[in-house]
Amino acid sequence: MAARVRGRPAVGSTVREGTLAGGLPYLAIGSGPPVVVLAGLDGTGGTTNPAGPARTFELRPYRRLAAHRTVLVVRRSPGIATGCTMAQLASQHAQALAGELALPVDVIGVSTGASIGLQLALDHPGCVRRLVLLAGACRLSDQGRAVQRTQAALVREGRYRRAMAATVPAVFSSAASRLAMRTLVPLTARPLTRQQADDLVRTIEAEDAFDLTGSLDRIGAPTLVIGGTADGYYGPDLFRRTASDLPRGALRLLPGNSHAATVSSARAAREILEFLQAPEPATLG
């Protein structure tokens, strides 16, 4: 990792945090060659580093990888403009990475971050060495779009707890999990600032318009797609299509896994480490 990416240790932990060029917040753990994780949406708009238990939960899937690599979990810069596209978000990331790291780097895109990762690999191929799409694909499913549109509408109305509860059917698959989370999420969701709300809505709008189904054949980076068969935002058909249409794509479907279960899966963590540590050229199957 280039010396310019510094950051400060978080109190009482081995986590470093800071801001990349262009204002993109990041958390970093581990040491060694960098791996950039493009974070998904969260309840604060995806432009603020989480704290406390939310931080621990987010970083847990990358602890295994951090034994070998420096893992940077990167968010979007606050103040996303009205009408911003995935291509513009990818361009911001490309500029930030070029200003801080020796390129190309390995990239892991998580959910919405996977959309940015695909766009980054398409528009800025010199940035991406290998790409992992974790619970992400070339576009949202119809259900995923509907859920996010409902979420955005509730955020615009200031109904933040209802907005987070509206995502439960797409994130969790079992009836028991959905029932529990419909109760828990509204209790734990915090009100957003005006900027956080705007950033969340504008990111959702960018992803609503995102669709690279006709452009995947132009992405040359070796890419591993990891998705659960019970994922409500994308689903197995879109995971299969994304992997098969990529010239150097590979697929790992996790039977029965929901969106949330895939992101936190120990098997997914093992698959990612194996893929990123494979000798050049990447071994795809």
> Could you tell me the two tokens for 119?
């766009």
Q: Is 11 helix (H, G, I), strand (E, B) or coil?
A: coil
pLDDT digits (tens, 9 = 90+) for 131-188: 999 999 999 999 999 999 999 999 999 988 888 888 887 887 655 565 455 555 555 5
pLDDT recorded at residue 99: 92
pLDDT digits (tens, 9 = 90+) for 96-114: 999 999 999 999 999 999 9
pLDDT digits (tens, 9 = 90+) for 239-257: 999 999 999 999 999 999 9
Output b/e per residue, 250-281; b: 16+ Cβ within 10 A.
bbbbbeebbbbbbbebeebbebbbebbeeeee
* Backbone Cα Rg of the chain: 17
pLDDT recorded at residue 168: 82
The whole model's pTM is what?
0.90
Task: Place 230 in a pLDDT band, splitting at 50, 70 and 90.
Answer: very high
pLDDT recorded at residue 276: 96
> How far, CA to CA in Å, does 220 sit from each of 94, 125, 209, 210?
16, 8, 23, 19
